[in-house]
Amino acid sequence: MTTLCVNLRIKPWLMFSFVLLAILDINSLQARVFTVDDSYTVAARFAKYSKKEAKLIEPELVFAQGQKVYFDRVYQSLSTRDLHLDVFLPIKSNHQAIVMVHGGGWRSGNKSHFYALANVLAKKGYTLILPEYRLSIEAPYPAGLEDINQAIEWTKKNAKNLNIDPTKIAIAGGSSGGHMAALIGFTQHLPLFKPVTPILRKPSRLNAIIDLDGVLDLTDPETLKHENKKKDKSAFALWIGGSWQNANSLWRQASPAEYISQDAPPLLVISSGQKRFTQGRERVFNQLTALNIPTRLHEFDQVIHTFWLFDPYLTLTAKVMDEFLQSEW
């Protein structure tokens, strides 16, 4: 065996440069470290629910020939890290986009949870935008809402490249993501939950809201029985910054039902049949109906909460969403 020894003579100033660059690189890596709660996964939900419902089918993505998916496109660069989104493109576009907000109790979850539903909808002609956003464990309210509004703005800016109509962008979400989707959809005409930039602060409008088992009224006594059950340690309280008793003004500010106006888009609620998850829908539906704004409810018969993750409910969910968006209001 031959050993090759190389004697490198490096000038002190060059060695200092190497060390400085290494320190800067390490600091850069450290700045991008953030905590993730991965307790909510599709696999974990399937393991839990399949014991109760043997008919559940794990998601499987089968792509059509020529179908495209863009992964991890940067839509916002923060001082701490970049935020990414995924785009599921149809082979033949109907020019309608849907921004899909994943759930996870405002604390966990991942944009990948919507891959299966997005793939089914893409085959129906839709363009799906799946953003990651800062969760409560990383940044409290209203950071995640501001992130999603940035993702909507990214979608509008890229409308031509995505082959969509910028006036035909809907927002959908599941569970806590459904709550966030409704809140963002009902406040598009307001400066709320938008970073201080001239473009985002202009009044805007989405053409539909689709709420999959997401709460609509955070002030309802029935909502408080569940969302405020653990007081300051409740999932919503950890996101908003305190229990109902200690931060009720923020709870009210983050309640979609507080923002119903003539500017509100049509609303579709798809419910598991477990009423607690869409608490407040009667109030919201009544207010929207009084303003002649279309509403629709599809209610499953007491099925699992995260029904959009698994068949047989996933395919039916896509069908209901498609029929709603194709309606001539």
Lowest mean pLDDT among 140-149, 192-201, 204-213, 223-232: 192-201
Burial of residue 224 (number of CB atoms within 10 Å: 0-12, 13-18, 19+): buried
Query: Percent of the chain beyond pLDDT 90?
Result: 83
pLDDT band at 32 (very low <50, low <70, confident <90, very high): low
Q: What tens digit of pLDDT does each residue of 57-77 get? A: 999 999 989 999 999 999 999
Say whether pLDDT at 13 is over 70. Answer: no
pLDDT tens profile 214-225: 999 999 999 999
Predicted local distance difference test score (pLDDT) of residue 204: 77
pLDDT bracket for residue 111 (50, 70, 90):
very high
Q: Hey, which CATH number is domain 38-325, 3.30.1490.100, 3.40.50.2300, 3.40.50.1820, 3.20.20.10?
A: 3.40.50.1820
Neighbours of 130 (CB within 10 A): 25
Query: Which residues of 43-179 form beta strands (DSSP E)?
Result: 68-77, 82-89, 97-101, 127-131, 169-174
Short-list 290, 270, 292, 291, CA closest to 281: 270
Above 70 in pLDDT, residue 29?
no
User: How much is the average pLDDT of 89-111?
Assistant: 97
Phi-psi category of residue 308: left, alpha or beta, with phi > 0 → left and psi -120 to 50 → alpha: alpha
pLDDT score of 180 more than 60: yes
* pLDDT surpassing 90 at residue 329: no
Determine the pLDDT at residue 21: 39
Task: Kindly state the average pLDDT of the residues 132-157.
Answer: 96
Query: Please, what is the average pLDDT of the chain?
Result: 90
pLDDT value at position 62? Answer: 92
- pLDDT tens sequence across 270-302: 999 999 999 999 999 999 999 999 999 999 999
Alpha-carbon gap, residue 59 to 310, rounded angstroms: 6
CB 203 within 8 A of CB 143: no
User: What pLDDT, on the 0 to 100 scale, is given for residue 178?
Assistant: 98
pLDDT at 35: 79
The closest alpha carbon to 217, from 257, 188, 179, 184, belongs to 257
Domain ranges of the chain: 38-325
Q: What are phi and psi of 174, to 5 degrees?
A: -115, 130
Q: What is the pLDDT of residues 124-142, one digit of tens each?
A: 999 999 999 999 999 999 9
Residue 85 has pLDDT above 50, yes or no: yes
pLDDT value of position 23: 39
